[in-house]
Copies of this chain bind each other. A is one copy, B any other.
Amino acid sequence: MNNTVLQSNYKIVDMKDIEYILSVVKDDERVFYGETINEDYSHDELGGVKKMPEVVVQALSTEEVSKIMKYSYENKIPVTPRGSGTGLVGASVPIYGGIMIDLSKMNNILELDEENLTLTVEPGVLLMEIGKFVEENDLFYPPDPGEKTATIAGNINTNAGGMRAVKYGVTRDYVRGLEVVLPSGEVIEIGGKVVKNSSGYSLKDLIVGSEGTLGIVTKATLKLLPLPKKFVSLLIPFPDLQKAIDTVPQIIKSKSIPTAIEFMQREAIVAAEEFLGKKFPDNSSDAYLLLKFDGNTTEEVEKNYEKVADICLENGALDVYISNTAEREEAIWSARGAFLEAIKASTTEMDEVDVVVPRNRVAEFVKYTHEMEEKHDIRIRSFGHAGDGNLHIYVLKDALDEETWKLKLNAVMDDMYKKARVLKGQVSGEHGIGFAKKPYLNQSLSPETLAIMRGIKLAFDPHNLLNPGKVC
């Protein structure tokens, strides 16, 4: 991309448009255009896709979003919604320019309803703020993606999963109701505080995971659970990765469901240690499983983890470290949380693969990434959610020149996504498709499926004005 203008019939933003936006917002400190736009608005966390918006509005209310969207619809100006910009596939990059609506300042927690166990929030509330708030109230919002500075609407738009998906499911499972501004500017309410709903097609489930292409989420009602009282983590070294990952289906089969099952290799741990300047409890083995268990009583948690520890030892684990102090928990999970940043810091540029495969095929896929590392002579690092089959694989540029990098990257990507299809996996487990992964979605889904997705987009957005050029 790199700021090249895409051919389109969209209207270019002019001063009249900016004056309209100012008349809606009534605060010129929340409207940016020309030189005043921060460069950060042109890309997300990955950076490979870049384009500046023509104007940025920091919205504070549904009414502002609705009015600006309606105006854009009437004037054929593309609109791209944005949260914290922590995405990894370019979903929030305004590839056709136009208006960017930054929702990060709509960040109020609106209501905790303890009788219905729901939390209603504005779209820009950060994941870490939600976690903190509900835990202070002895409640629990299970989705736990690594990036805690993402906004909740960003999580909803990618259907983010995170580590606890093994036991608790993904963001979609915790969205009860949404307020959405449609491309026409109309505001609709979907779902609500109700626990069940069979009243027409599930637009809620369609908006979740739609990456800001079908509507702009301006309010969300989330489902909460009681906060589990006890938790324990196990760090389990294995002589090699194959043995570690092969153990996971045995754990699942044992019917003791951990909260999280992560796999990691020594390189990732050492990189995180260097990045954080802190020691991990152990880095002497080639591969590790990191498991978490939660429950309401010590006995319940113990019973669960003892069974799993035995399975690991029977399957070749070298030891089982039980982490039941706050200090050790912090050391382990802060390292796990720093993997992405540490890998990023270790190279010049990178791209990622976020495939999901059936969980008994994870070992095969990771083995394949090692073969790819040799075949294409390029550094590849991976870690991920062994318990739910979602891998995070990073292809690293290091010292490669631009042309070699592009060639190798494309070849590696093609191989990886081909393998995912063979294993009956999907292109993205939780990062979404955005702009960067569109070619792979096109290869992965049937033409009929893609045609239906395009028809759905049309039903919401007949002029293709909301976040155009994304998903399908």
| Residues of A that sit less than 8 Å from B by CB | 113-117, 138-139, 158-161, 165-166, 169-170, 172-173, 182, 184, 186, 188-203, 205-206, 208-210, 214, 225-227, 249, 252-253, 255-257, 295-297, 299-300, 303, 354, 356-360, 385, 387-390, 424-433, 441, 444-446, 448-450, 452-460, 471-472
Contact = CB atoms under 8 A, between A and B. Distances in A.
Nearest to A432: B198
A284 B385 CA distance: 54
A455 B445 contact: no
Contact of A202 (B116, B209, B357, B433): B209
Q: How many copies does the complex hold?
A: 2
A154 to B, nearest CB: 12
Given A194-B358, A201-B206, A458-B455, A253 B114 contact: yes
Contacts of A389: 194-196
Contact of A188 (B205, B227, B448): B448
A354 B199 CA distance: 10
A182 B448 CA distance: 9
Given A194-B389, A426-B197, A203 B452 contact: yes
A420 to B, nearest CB: 10
B210 A471 contact: no
Contacts of A358: 113, 116, 192-194
Contacts of A182: 448, 452
B206 A206 contact: yes
Contacts of A359: 115-116, 193, 195
Contacts of A458: 455, 459
**Most B CB atoms within 10 A — which of A115, A227, A360?**
A115
B252 A184 contact: no
A100 to B, nearest CB: 22
B448 A186 contact: yes
Given A199-B444, A202-B209, A194 B356 contact: yes
A404 B192 CA distance: 36
B197 A356 contact: yes
A198 B202 contact: no
Most buried by B among A188, A198, A427, A445: A198
B459 A429 contact: no
Contacts of A445: 199-200
A191 B444 CA distance: 11
Nearest to A161: B196
Nearest to A449: B188
A426 B114 CA distance: 21
Nearest to A253: B114
A24 B253 CA distance: 41
A446 B184 CA distance: 14
A347 to B, nearest CB: 25
A195 B424 contact: no
Contact of A158 (B194, B198, B252, B453): B198
Given A182-B448, A184-B448, A195-B389, A201 B472 contact: yes
